[in-house]
Structure 1
Amino acid sequence: MKNFLKNFLTEDEQKILIFIIFLAVLGLALKFIGIEQENDSLSADSLNFEKDFEIKYDLNSATKEELISIPGIGEKKAGDIISYRENSGFEAKEDLMKVKGIGKATFKKIESYFYEFGRVSNPLEKVESIKEGTVTEDKELPEIKKVNINTADLEEFTILKGIGPKKAERIIEYRKEIGEFTDINQLLEVKGIGEKTLEKIKEMITLGEE
């Protein structure tokens, strides 16, 4: 190579050529480093975007398929969560640890996939939250139509806090058996509805038009 350069280039020209080659290599190296840094920045932005827009679910309404999609919850645990919800209802994310097979370690892995409780999702919950003092509201309470337990369908019952589709079906079946409710305390005869659940919903239900 040296002999080749000597035959065609002077010593000064050789130095200039070597310097140009050095600059070209340096430029390529700097460009490569810049691309790598840009990719790292894009990756970091993507991670932040995913974190900010992470899908969250409502414990009291998430479907079995949605629960299964959460890492750490398989089909069995999803079924157990739904069973617990139908029988007791969730009042806090920590109630997940009352579900069979979900301990502290599993809870820490999955808690970020669920909304914090206290988030108002329907007008009846808003009224209840205001009454309990968990939501500040300066305006007058909106007039909310109570759920008539003698005429309500499944969808109307599931508006009530702690009443899922399964409990709603049981209420309707029991109503068919007795003809009609004459006392709201008769709801305690429905499987899965205890005094705690009744206390939550008694201000939101009625035996007839008021």
Structure 2
Amino acid sequence: MKHIKSHFTFTKQQRSGIFVLLLLILILQCVYFFVDFSSEEFQVNQHDLVQFRAEIDSLKQIKTQNNKPKVYPFNPNFITDYKGYTLGMSSEEIDRLHAFRKQNKWINSIKDFQRITLVSDSLLLKISPYFKFPDWVLNPKPKTQYSYSKNKSPKTFDQKLNLNTATAEQLKKINGIGDKLSERIVAYRKKIGGNFIADVQLQDVYGLSPEVVKRTLNEFTVKNTKPIQTLDLNTATINELVTIQYIDYEIAHNIIEERTLREGFKSLDQLTKVKDFPVKKIDIIKLYLTLNLE
């Protein structure tokens, strides 16, 4: 007990020191509460402050826009469930679009999209600038008016013009034949000796589609063709066969081998069984062959 009491026994100097310390603390507290330490000379430029806040706000908006998912142009016919969700479409609106597309139908305008999906005007205004339709929808080509009629009866042999004397100007009247193709037909005719043997040779002109060939043969046909010397398929030699267009020495050798195995060809169509034979050109090759079965 005496030991504890000794801790609370102070000398005169100690008591004076404690009193001064408490007095100093009290003075500092009064100064803190009653004295204004703010500087009256510091003034804020309100104009600069407004500009600074506006700049901060604009930077925040830019950051917010950059954080949003970017939307690129797209064809609304191919909107998936996820794509529609990101655009803000409801599941019902997406289902209407998919049901329409399952009928093998296409949306070709913004009005069609709203009519099918029933999206709101506000959503349509938001997403329609990103719609991208094919060029043939946006800029349809005008239908060409042709001089011929589909119901027109085919011309007879006498009514058709001679393909062997037709000029480039006459050929250009056929739909699908321009300057280059008409000149190419005339050049090919000269290349094969100045005359077509049969109409089928027109298919051999590079660049002519089957449709254009058909339209050409409705107006032209081979007339007054020069007679050609044909070869008997069952007796022709390799050297004779290679004189025929599209037959080289390898194919000629294969023809002789096939002929030997068959003990003679029974029809010209059996050439399609020959190894490496140009099957697509058989109609032209047959023009130069005959078959003596006796």
Structure with larger Rg: 2
Question: Relative contact order (C-alpha < 8 Å, sep 6+): which is higher?
Answer: 1
TM > 0.5: no
Higher helix share: 1
